[in-house]
């Protein structure tokens, strides 16, 4: 059965409910008609008409090494000829064993045990449950968590409980367990003076940042207040180190993540680093925790782990946490959690190839000059009359669109200004996405400088036309 484009769209609209999508708009082609992707190569997606689009959001932050990467393709094919899936409950397999060794070799040395799952939300849920149970084994009942406003940790109910984005999470409030929220490290003082603190001149450390902002480090003080008061009931504190990506790329002041980590030590709670977005090179380092110089008790990985090929996640923890779960069968200290597709062998094969590529293709070394080029392009764009604040780290950036640069006035939400710009940019052969009126860029690590330039130019052109 070969379906025409018209028929495909008709069937999509008739049968399918898309994620994070107002289906009423989707049905009405607002702000644009659905795009049907047929194939991809490198940084490009191709639709059913053969039209080519630069993938400026890495297929929603997963694809880091390019589509149809020959080495990952070959690794998956090789594994396909062996076994596509077998359970990880009571059995094991070669790709997952190899991958555990590779992951531990690139992660901070104190992280020793890999627990696999299949998406970022579950990687976070697993860390939360392990942390909770760890304290139970110690004879403590810690039933809440510490998180940050604007945080995003996924869409399952546990992950939503530690989510601080009202837009996504408020609707489910009644279903959630208790979490405390410290301010996002992007306070009103930082915010009010955001145009005076050029994102390019990130202060050297947290103290310096607070001095420039004149805020007295309120965000850390409030986090400390929460821990002082409730620390004994907080099983773990969670953070997306360096970048609250889903909040529109809120880049943390230098040293903030380290301050947060120190508080966890001081008040004796566990630390979970959610690197689902920032992991695998997005900051310019392999992991953001290297950038932050923090030693979390858990790190949650997914998205880029397979090069963006397949669903896979890992929650990696210390011997200390792992050992607390050891005991006799009848002691019921087992970690009762698992998924049907835990450690899928095809996904593990893709991940093994992806990690190798970082080394063989010198991905991070080659990235340095691209990041510098990107930064310069964004700096030029930040002078645009329709641009408010720009936040940037590595290959990630958030560009706030404003109606008036001087007053900082924004467009009416209903106008969907940024969504329309993203729709128009498709005519320039570029796919990016917006979060409210923030344009979000999340570039593949294998992008070229001329492709970066193309994206910046297209944004400028569309902003000119506002």
Ligand X SMILES: *Cc1c(COP(=O)(O)O)cnc(C)c1O
Task: In angstroms, give the least distance from the CB of 303 to ligand X.
Answer: 6
**Nearest-CB residue for ligand X:** 120
Comparing CB distances to ligand X, the nearer of 219 and 245 is 245
Q: Strands across the sheet with 438-442, in order?
A: 387-393, 396-401, 438-442, 433-435
Comparing CB distances to ligand X, the nearer of 252 and 324 is 252
What part of residues 85-144 is at the interface with ligand X (CB under 6 A)? 119-121, 124
Comparing CB distances to ligand X, the nearer of 123 and 324 is 123
| DSSP letter (8 states) at residue 153 | -
Task: In angstroms, give the least distance from the CB of 268 to ligand X.
Answer: 25
Task: In angstroms, give the least distance from the CB of 245 to ligand X.
Answer: 5
Task: In angstroms, give the least distance from the CB of 275 to ligand X.
Answer: 7
Task: In angstroms, give the least distance from the CB of 120 to ligand X.
Answer: 2
Number of H helices, E strands in the chain: 18, 17
Comparing CB distances to ligand X, the nearer of 236 and 387 is 236
Task: In angstroms, give the least distance from the CB of 60 to ligand X.
Answer: 8
What part of residues 261-280 is at the interface with ligand X (CB under 6 A)? 274, 276-277
User: Of the candidates 64, 49, 46, which has an alpha carbon nearest to the alpha carbon of residue 308?
Assistant: 64
Binding window for ligand X (CB under 6 A); candidates: 134-142, 149-157, 196-204, 223-231: 149-157
- Cβ atoms within 10 A of the Cβ of 40, count? 17
Q: How would DSSP label each residue in 216-254?
A: TTHHHHHHHHHHHHHGGGEEEEEE-TTEEGGGT-EEPPT
Comparing CB distances to ligand X, the nearer of 340 and 448 is 340
Selected from 153, 169, 282, 462, the binder of ligand X by CB under 6 A is 153
What part of residues 331-370 is at the interface with ligand X (CB under 6 A)? none
Comparing CB distances to ligand X, the nearer of 245 and 459 is 245
The answer to the question of residue 165 lying near ligand X (CB under 6 A) is no
Phi, psi of 165, deg, nearest 5: -105, 100
What part of residues 291-320 is at the interface with ligand X (CB under 6 A)? 302-303
**Cβ partners under 8 Å of residue 390, min gap 6:** 199, 378, 381, 382, 397, 398, 399, 400
Selected from 152, 186, 199, 280, the binder of ligand X by CB under 6 A is 152
Comparing CB distances to ligand X, the nearer of 134 and 152 is 152
Task: In angstroms, give the least distance from the CB of 269 to ligand X.
Answer: 20
> Rounded to whole angstroms, what are the CA distances from 85 to 74, 90, 235, 455?
17, 14, 34, 39
Binding mask 188-227 vs ligand X (x if CB under 6 A, - otherwise)?
Answer: ----------------------------------------
Task: Work out the widest C-alpha separation in the chain, in whole angstroms.
Answer: 69
Please answer whether residues 204 and 253 qualify as being in contact, where contact means their C-beta atoms are separated by less than 8 angstroms.
no
Find the DSSP H helices in 272-398. Answer: 288-292, 319-324, 345-360, 363-381
Q: How would DSSP label each residue in 429-451?
A: TEE-EEETTEEEEE--TT--HHH
Specify whether the backbone of 74 is left (phi greater than 0), alpha (psi in -120 to 50) or beta: alpha
Comparing CB distances to ligand X, the nearer of 161 and 417 is 161
Comparing CB distances to ligand X, the nearer of 150 and 417 is 150
Bond preceding residue 200 cis, omega within 30 of 0: no
Selected from 154, 183, 255, 279, the binder of ligand X by CB under 6 A is 154
The answer to the question of residue 245 lying near ligand X (CB under 6 A) is yes
Task: In angstroms, give the least distance from the CB of 163 to ligand X.
Answer: 9
Q: Which residues pair with 47 in a beta bridge?
A: 37
The answer to the question of residue 288 lying near ligand X (CB under 6 A) is no
Please answer whether residues 155 and 60 qualify as being in contact, where contact means their C-beta atoms are separated by less than 8 angstroms.
no
Comparing CB distances to ligand X, the nearer of 54 and 124 is 124
> Rounded to whole angstroms, what are the CA distances from 273 to 3, 17, 111, 260, 335?
45, 32, 12, 11, 20
Binding window for ligand X (CB under 6 A); candidates: 150-158, 324-332, 399-407, 438-446: 150-158
For the stretch 420-429, what's the b/e string if a residue is b when 16 or more beta carbons lie within 10 angstroms of its beta carbon? Answer: bbbbbbbeee
Comparing CB distances to ligand X, the nearer of 152 and 358 is 152
Selected from 240, 242, 400, 451, the binder of ligand X by CB under 6 A is 240
Contacts with ligand X, residue ranges (CB under 6 A): 119-121, 124, 152-154, 240, 245-246, 274, 276-277, 302-303
């Amino acid at each position: 059965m070969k379906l025409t484009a018209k028929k495909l769209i008709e069937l999509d609209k008739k049968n399918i409910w898309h994620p994070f999508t107002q289906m009423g708009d989707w049905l009405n082609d607002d702000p644009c008609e659905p795009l049907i992707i047929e194939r991809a190569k490198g940084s490009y997606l191709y639709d059913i008409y053969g039209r080519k689009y630069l993938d400026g959001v890495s297929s929603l932050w997963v694809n880091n090494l390019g589509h149809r990467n020959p080495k990952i393709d070959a690794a998956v094919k090789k594994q396909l000829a062996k076994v596509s899936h077998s359970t990880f409950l009571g059995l094991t397999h070669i790709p997952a064993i190899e991958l555990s060794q590779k992951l531990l070799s690139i992660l901070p040395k104190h992280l020793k045990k890999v627990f696999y799952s299949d998406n970022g939300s579950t990687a976070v849920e697993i860390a939360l449950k392990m942390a909770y149970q760890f304290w139970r084994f110690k004879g403590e009942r810690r039933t809440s968590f510490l998180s940050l406003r604007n945080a995003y940790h996924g869409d399952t109910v546990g992950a939503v409980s530690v989510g601080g984005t009202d837009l996504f999470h408020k609707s489910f409030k009644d279903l959630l367990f208790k979490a405390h929220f410290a301010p996002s490290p992007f306070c009103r003082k930082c915010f009010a003076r955001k145009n005076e603190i050029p994102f390019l001149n990130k202060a050297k450390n947290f103290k310096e940042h607070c001095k420039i902002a004149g805020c007295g480090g309120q965000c850390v003080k409030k986090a400390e207040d929460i821990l002082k008061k409730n620390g004994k009931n907080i099983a773990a504190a969670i953070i997306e180190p360096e970048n609250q990506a889903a909040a529109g790329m809120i880049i943390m002041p230098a040293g903030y993540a380290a301050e947060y980590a120190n508080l966890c030590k001081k008040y004796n709670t566990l630390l979970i680093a959610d690197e689902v977005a920032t992991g695998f090179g997005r900051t310019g380092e392999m992991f953001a925790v290297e950038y932050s110089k923090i030693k979390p008790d858990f790190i949650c990985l997914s998205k880029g782990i397979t090069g963006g090929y397949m669903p896979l996640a890992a929650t990696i923890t210390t011997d200390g946490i792992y050992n607390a779960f050891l005991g006799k069968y009848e002691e019921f200290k087992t970690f009762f959690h698992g998924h049907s597709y835990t450690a899928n062998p095809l996904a593990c094969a893709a991940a093994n190839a992806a990690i190798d590529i970082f080394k063989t293709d010198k991905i991070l070394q080659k990235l340095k000059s691209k990041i510098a080029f990107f930064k310069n392009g964004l700096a030029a764009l930040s002078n645009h009359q329709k641009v408010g604040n720009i936040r940037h780290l590595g290959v990630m950036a958030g560009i706030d669109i404003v109606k008036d640069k001087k007053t900082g006035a924004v467009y009416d939400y209903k106008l969907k200004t940024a969504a329309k710009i993203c729709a128009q940019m498709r005519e320039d052969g570029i796919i990016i996405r917006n979060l409210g009126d923030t344009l979000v860029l999340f570039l593949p690590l294998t992008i070229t400088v001329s492709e970066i330039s193309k994206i910046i130019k297209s944004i400028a052109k569309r902003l000119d036309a506002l």
